[in-house]
Structure 1
Amino acid sequence: MPDRIRRTSVRLPLFLCVVCGAAVMLVAILLSEHEAKVRVTEHEQLIGGDLVDSVDRILDSVSTRRRNELAALAGKPCSSEVRASLAELETHLRYVRAVALVSGDRLYCSSALGPIDRPLSDYPLSVGRGDSIGLLAQTPYQLGVPVLVIFNRPAPGTGVLSIVEGDYLADVLAHGVRYGVQTASILVSDTGRINARGTFGPASGPLARYTTRVASHKWPFSILVSSSEGFISGMHWKYRIPGLAVGLLVDGLIAAAYLLTFAPRRLLLNAVRQALRRNEFHVVYQPIIDTASRELVGVEALLRWHHPRWGAISPASFMEEVESSEMLGPVTQFVMKTAIAEMSQRAPAIPLRIAVNIAPGDLERRGFVAQVVALTAGLPAGMTLVVELTERFLLAPSPRTATIFNALKARGVRFAIDDFGTQHSNLDLLGRFQFDYVKIDRQFVNQVDTGGADLITGIVSVAKHYGLQVIAEGVETESQHAVLLAAGVPFAQGYLYQRPVKADQLAQRRQHDDATTSRIPV
């Protein structure tokens, strides 16, 4: 009997571990499947929202440009003068194939065809809060080509009908397909829908294959999207594999997994805390130069850690944990305080700008603005603090972020958008936030020797449109420098000019450059 009890006491924990392990695995699978579905939905909503914004901009442009001039023509006889004015105005409307004047319920004058006589009922419309829109499989004058029509009635009995090529809408939808969307369509209720291939379908057709619908708040249309099988499968496996790994653990291993997951993090953050107290951290500076003169105009401050036992430790091995912990504030403050103090002590070789990277957690910290203001209050004349953020931190609109921008800009702080173009790029960011600089990521700079110069030129053009200056990162060769200079990039940094160095070495380099310049005959 005692042997049976002992055997039972040995088997029972094993049985409980197996049952617990199976239960954990089942829960982990269910949670991972649920999480994957949530992420897929969020991805579809994000893409759908971007597509809605793009179509909104097309409709807004067509509806508002030359609106008053077109309204003044509506109702006038389709004389040669009216036709000429109508044709001239149509050339100013982007995306528009033709504009027609309406009197009563009939189209009587077209910018493309001159006098016409078609009933307005040939162009079904969905009425919104302002102008009406509709999707058509074709027009009586161009068969087989889907279009979108926008109708504006400036006065009773008269109107203006604009016809937009469906290919423009298909091009917009095709952008969503590039980011993991299998199918995307624009649906205008009661009139029809057009997909990314430019194919027209009835509004009442089957919509089961579309899993997410995002409606416009400005116009009576919706974007329908559904992720590709590959993206969905990849997202499910992304969460399923960790779920299966966790599910295979038994009771005893769950505790071990907890220690393996959290103990190293606690040790790392404690080491960071000790490093700050023991002055193991220091800041190095990579020069930012004027591409035309190669003169030093600024520096980017970079954190470095030299441990007495482990030697140099890369920021990549600890900053990710720091950014999600309470140590982010002290570390960010150390970099800013050190950079400002060291650069301020080295006049007259003072750079014009000190660039410091911040994390998204910094923008959420209380007192962040007051901390930056206090640190920059003692900056010497001619020296400016530049705060660098990556665009992925700003894709979701945040009133707090805009408030921080305004508060710090009022104190002379400048802002740079880092790694521009490497995430889900959204040009709306450049208009929504008051950036001063755009930093071109090194991956684009590396492509200039293999035909990527046009992309750099395009980024420079976009930056100029928004009144921003461009800084190229990761310049390593003279040929890259030459291409950037030709493309109009005013500033650059990289190993070609100098690797990151300590403040005293930076000062020596500046003095050496000044001495060299003074010996050059003029």
Structure 2
Amino acid sequence: MYDPSNSAEGKFSELHDEASVRRNVAPRLTLAIAAACCLGVTVGAVLWGEHYADQEVAARESLIGHDMVESLDRMLTSVRTGRRDALLELVGQHCAKISLQLSELETYVQYVRSINLVDNDRLYCSSSIGPLSVPLSSYVPRGTPGAHGTIINLLAGTPFQPGTPVISMYEPTGDGAGVQYTIEGAYVADALAHGIRYGAQQVFLSMPGSGVLNDKGEFVPAIKTPNQIGTRVYSTQWPFSIAVLASAALATEMHWRYGLLFGALAILFDLLIAAIALLALAPQRQLLAAVRRGLRLGQLHVVYQPVVEIETRRIVGVEALIRWTHPRWGSVSPSVFMAQVERSPLLARITRFALRTAAADIAQKTDIRPLRVAVNVAPMDLQRKDFVADVIAVNDALPPGVTLILEVTERFLLARQPRTQAIFNVLKARGVRFAIDDFGTQHSNLDLLGRFPFDYVKIDGQFVRQIDKGGAALIKAIAAVAKHFGMEVIAEGVETEAQHAALRELGVPFGQGFLYQRPVNAGALSVEPEPGLAATGH
């Protein structure tokens, strides 16, 4: 996170603003040309956009359907394989002797309401109620063994709970004997309901010869053919399919988006490319040249904002932040220039400068130990061949008691995962630690915490600012997930004592923000201790 708190005054900011104004001419020009040429837009361009929008809607439905099928495949396979051999050995044995063992085995099998043993075409022993006598046809009304030798049926209910849908799974071991699993329909409905979050209006599970279970957990005896209500995806492992119908809002959005896009691009594509090239490239080159010159003349420097232990306010780390002080234009905010730098070859020099400067400052200008020093890295950094060597060289030169942390953001972790994972492994083996910065603001993807071996999770300041308006629950949830994966949480943007107290109450271990200290030179790092601790000698 390149902290944009410094003001950007003077002519250099005006240069950036002028570039922004010039870029804004492009949409005005395209709107004027579009208005003059709108009568010339052909029916073919509109139909092309409509066709593309339909494909995008179908692709979203298919993606949701495949995700649902994959989830349910894992669920059914988990039920079938969980303690399977031990359960099959119990078939035919007297219920009074094995009911306790059957109940114990059931606790190891997820998603099931009960596991029942079958003999003479009757369920005679249940993990939930013990001895019973129910015809097998009540749970297995139809079907032949599939590829696994297992029969599954979707039922509107059972003799004991007639109105509660379930999936019945039956694995025969002989003539009229076997193991029957009753899978809660609520678990299936919960899996289907995830599709609603990703743009589906309705999601249905159907099995041959059975009815349909929808995302609300309702059993529907008969509906229109799934192919008529959206996209249908079949499981290759089990005899069921998922039908997905996209929401009207998603379909409308796609048709508007691609209708307008293809209609406008048919006329304005070449003109837009020329306008963007003329209006954007020249200011960008000027900006990067000025940054390159500033780096060469020593105008760029690094300041440090403390990361404190919330319980004591003791400094445990710092975040290194790039600053640019121009001799004529004054302080230039990183928000003015870093976005362009991160997309240019100049990034390597800037990152190398930040790493080396931070290492030297911490070694020479402060004696706070132990201390973690965090340096931000950008997406293109991890694509450089010499990036790992740069980091190792700086890390090996750090004095004892100082740990290097690389802060990365969510937006580029989902792409290039194998290379990113390899970099993590190499650097962590050398003692470098990693933090995920601004967590929750890009993809809000909790799965990242399980896929990448982070050491710290930095919660973005926008959640800290809303800690008394519902943000506390989110912070608590993120902290719980981070703790599960062995990571520690740092709350950014702490500005008030009330926020500090709330974070301490939530058990968040570390904080960073203006409340403790604004970014300063390394020699000026100092944070007031927690009130009362100094008096007690802690």
Where on the TM-score scale, by shorter chain, does this alignment land: which range? 0.7 to 0.9
Alignment of 1:253-268 (within 5 A): 255-268=274-287
Q: Which residue of 1 aligns with 2:3?
A: none
Q: Which residue of 2 aligns with 1:175?
A: 194
Amino acid at match of 2:298: N
* More deviation, 168-177/117-126: 117-126
Q: Which residue of 1 aligns with 2:425?
A: 406
Q: Is the 8 A contact 1:125 1:134 kept in 2?
A: no
* Match among 76, 86, 95 for residue 111 of structure 2: 95
| Deviations 1:448-487, CA, capped at 9 Å, x for gaps | 2234433333222222221111111122222222222122
Q: Is the 8 A contact 1:25 1:246 kept in 2?
A: no
Is 1:209 the counterpart of 2:229? The answer is yes
Q: Which residue of 1 aligns with 2:406?
A: 387
Shift in alpha-carbon separation, 1:183–1:107, aligned structure 2, 3 A: same
Q: Is the 8 A contact 2:142 2:153 kept in 1?
A: yes
Alignment of 1:488-507 (within 5 A): 488-506=507-525
Q: Which residue of 2 aligns with 1:109?
A: 125
Shift in alpha-carbon separation, 1:179–1:159, aligned structure 2, 3 A: same
Shift in alpha-carbon separation, 1:161–1:233, aligned structure 2, 3 A: same
| Deviations 1:56-92, CA, capped at 9 Å, x for gaps | 5544654455445434433322x23433433344345
Alignment of 1:61-72 (within 5 A): 61-67=78-84, 69-72=86-89
Q: Is the 8 A contact 1:187 1:203 kept in 2?
A: no
In structure 2, C-alpha distance between the alignment counterparts of 1:130 and 1:276, rounded to whole Å: 70
Shift in alpha-carbon separation, 1:121–1:221, aligned structure 2, 3 A: closer
Q: State the Cα distance separating 1:39 from its structure 2 match.
A: 6.2
* More deviation, 159-168/182-191: 182-191
| Deviations 1:255-313, CA, capped at 9 Å, x for gaps | 44431243333333333333333333322222111111111111122223334454433
| Deviations 1:209-253, CA, capped at 9 Å, x for gaps | 33474x778766665444323234334545665666666659878
Runs (5+) with no aligned partner, structure 2: 1-32
* Match among 103, 118, 124 for residue 136 of structure 2: 118
| Deviations 1:179-236, CA, capped at 9 Å, x for gaps | 33323344557766533222345799322433474x7787666654443232343345
Shift in alpha-carbon separation, 1:80–1:390, aligned structure 2, 3 A: farther
Amino acid at match of 1:260: L
In structure 2, C-alpha distance between the alignment counterparts of 1:122 and 1:419, rounded to whole Å: 54
Q: Which residue of 1 aligns with 2:158?
A: 139
In structure 2, C-alpha distance between the alignment counterparts of 1:204 and 1:126, rounded to whole Å: 27
TM-score normalised to structure 1 length: 0.80
* Match among 70, 73, 76 for residue 90 of structure 2: 73
Identity fraction in percent:
50
Considering Cα pairs closer than 8 Å and 6+ residues apart, tell me whether 1 or 2 has the greater RCO: 2
Q: Is the 8 A contact 1:185 1:195 kept in 2?
A: yes
Runs (5+) with no aligned partner, structure 1: 1-16
TM-score normalised to structure 2 length: 0.78
Amino acid at match of 2:135: D
| Deviations 1:357-389, CA, capped at 9 Å, x for gaps | 323332233232222222211111221122222
Shift in alpha-carbon separation, 1:420–1:205, aligned structure 2, 3 A: same
| Deviations 1:376-419, CA, capped at 9 Å, x for gaps | 11111221122222334334573222212211111111122233
In structure 2, C-alpha distance between the alignment counterparts of 1:453 and 1:429, rounded to whole Å: 21
* Match among 439, 462, 472 for residue 458 of structure 2: 439
Is 1:197 the counterpart of 2:213? The answer is no
Q: Is the 8 A contact 2:143 2:151 kept in 1?
A: no
Shift in alpha-carbon separation, 1:118–1:468, aligned structure 2, 3 A: same
Amino acid at match of 1:80: A
Amino acid at match of 2:227: L
Q: Which residue of 2 aligns with 1:233?
A: 252
* More deviation, 474-483/45-54: 45-54
Q: State the Cα distance separating 1:329 from its structure 2 match.
A: 2.6
Q: Is the 8 A contact 2:121 2:135 kept in 1?
A: no
Q: Which residue of 1 aligns with 2:434?
A: 415
Shift in alpha-carbon separation, 1:242–1:381, aligned structure 2, 3 A: farther
In structure 1, C-alpha distance between the alignment counterparts of 2:340 and 2:149, rounded to whole Å: 50
